[in-house]
Amino acid sequence: MQQDTQFILIHGAGLGAWIWRDVISRLKYPTLALEFPNRNKPDSKKANTAKLTFEDYISFLKKQIEIGSRTKSKLVIVAHSIGGVIGLRLAEDFQDRVNGFIGISASIPKEGGSFVSSLPYPNKIIVSTVMKLFGTLPSEMSIKHGLCGDLTSEQAEEIIGNYSPESENLYFSRTNAGLPNVSRLYIRLENDKEFDIPTQNRMISHFSPDHIIDLESGHMPMLSQPKTLAAILNSFATTMI
């Protein structure tokens, strides 16, 4: 990969750009970690995200790329979890600059669909019902179970303490974006309790990646295995010269 290429990192729901810090320090190429709206605020758990549309998310992240990326750099999108739906849309909006896409246990809807539409039955019904009844801020128990299985207690506390609810529109709105015509890699997480193997396989079937790498990790390899994850990203980069 040429040195004018830049990684664009997209975190998952409730999280923030901070999750990538131990990966970024090990990457060999310029990197921009994007941040969803209403992060880094003392009252982020109470921030009014309910009215945010999917387009609000996209506009917020596009502006970060326009300001923070190198003008002539080619972009490799690295999308985690629900970041996959964001990544697909950004890849389309920046199609003249994107030359690679890596999904890490990423949500990949079919034919421009939504995050919820990408889930298998009965998960999509369960997720829809729970969100409509209780909102998008999971209980601490749910966060620990889904995200923190192989993390230290300090890492788990940081995730729970910084978790921010998202707008329902992030989950239910269509991306209206197709697959990017670039080199694609899917990193399948073997011990993921948030997206189990059948769910990830469904995403893979929608994504049609050029390569699949299996990683023995829970849902947050950027925290549990930053060295290994960074090595995978760097290796992907070297194949794109």
- What architecture (CATH level 2) is domain 5-238? 3-Layer(aba) Sandwich (3.40)
Q: Are 233 and 7 in contact (CB under 8 A)?
A: yes
What is the edge-to-edge ordering of all strands in the sheet holding 98-104?
Answer: 31-33, 5-10, 74-80, 98-104, 183-189, 211-215
Q: What is the dihedral of CA 235, 149, 207, 170, to 10 degrees?
A: -120
| Degrees, nearest 5: CA angle 14-44-169 | 50
pLDDT, tens digit, for every residue of 151-210?
999 999 999 999 999 999 999 999 999 999 999 999 999 999 999 999 999 999 999 999
pLDDT of residue 51 exceeding 90: no
SS3 202: helix
* β-bridge partners, 9: 33, 78
SS3 102: strand
pLDDT, tens digit, for every residue of 99-151?
999 999 999 999 999 999 999 988 889 989 988 888 899 999 999 999 999 99
Angle formed by the axes of helices 140-147 and 153-162, nearest 10°: 130
Tokens of 63: 């502006």
Q: Are 76 and 102 in contact (CB under 8 A)?
A: yes
Range 214-233 average pLDDT: 99
Residue 214: CA count within 13 A, CB half-sphere: 6
Which helix or strand (DSSP H or E) is residue 176 part of?
A: none
pLDDT, tens digit, for every residue of 148-162?
999 999 999 999 999
- Domain boundaries along the sequence of the chain: 5-238
Tokens of 29: 């190429």
Residue 4 — pLDDT band, cuts 50, 70, 90? confident
pLDDT of residue 3 exceeding 70: no
52 compared with 42, residue with greater pLDDT: 52
73 compared with 55, residue with greater pLDDT: 55
Tell me the CA distances in angstroms from 191 to 17, 32, 129, 149, one per residue in order.
23, 27, 26, 9
Q: What's the first-to-final CA gap in the chain, in angstroms? A: 4
